[in-house]
């Protein structure tokens, strides 16, 4: 069961499709509106399937271009949480968010936007994340 949950954690990345940039590098700019922490929580599975998973993903973007992606998958059937923390660096170019995970050879790019008038929600790769108060 642990292997299944870990596979689901990897496969259910709510941030979008991995697309390396052509130059393999991080964008030069930093959008100050992204600095802070952003969280998405979603459920997968069903009682009929024998398990419900709660996947919580929190992005934290620092002003010095460091970032983290903290994904936790909680299995109701096992009453256990499986954490997965990745460190990274980030940059922006227009509405493209470029992420370079520590130890990864390529950069991952996501389209991002602020879909409301307020800056309390960001869409990263089409998935909405709410601002997390410090």
Cα–Cα distance, 87 to 66 (Å, whole number): 8
Which pLDDT does position 68 carry in this prediction?
98
8 A C-beta contact, residue 75 and residue 83? no
Which pLDDT does position 64 carry in this prediction?
95
Which structural domain, as residue segments, surrounds residue 90? 2-132
Domain count of the fold of the chain: 1
- Going from the C-alpha of 53 to that of each of 45, 49, 92, 94, 97, the distances in angstroms are 6, 11, 32, 35, 28
Give the tens place of pLDDT for each residue, 41-99: 999 998 777 889 999 999 999 999 999 999 999 999 999 999 999 999 999 999 999 99
Locate all alpha helices (DSSP H) within 22-128, ordered by sequence: none
8 A C-beta contact, residue 112 and residue 34? yes
Reference 50, options 77, 78, 12, 73; nearest CA is 77
For the record, the structure tokens of 56 come out as: 């919580």
CATH number (domain holding residue 21): 2.40.128
- Size (the chain), residues: 134
Whether the model clears a pTM of 0.85, i.e. scores above it, the answer is no
Cα–Cα distance, 55 to 48 (Å, whole number): 19
8 A C-beta contact, residue 93 and residue 27? yes
What letter would DSSP give residue 29? B
| Residue pointed to by tokens 């929600």 | 121
């Amino acid at each position: 069961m642990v292997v299944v949950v870990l596979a689901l954690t990897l496969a259910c990345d709510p941030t979008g499709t991995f697309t390396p940039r052509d130059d393999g590098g991080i964008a030069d700019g930093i959008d100050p509106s992204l600095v802070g922490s952003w969280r998405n929580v979603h459920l997968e599975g069903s009682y009929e399937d024998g398990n419900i998973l709660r996947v919580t993903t929190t992005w934290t973007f620092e002003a010095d271009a460091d970032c983290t992606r903290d994904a936790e998958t909680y299995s109701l059937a096992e009453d256990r949480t499986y954490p997965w923390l990745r460190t990274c660096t980030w940059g922006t170019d227009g509405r493209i968010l470029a992420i370079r995970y520590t130890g990864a050879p390529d950069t991952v790019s996501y389209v991002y936007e602020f879909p409301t008038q307020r800056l309390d929600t960001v869409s990263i790769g089409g998935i909405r994340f709410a601002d997390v108060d410090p």
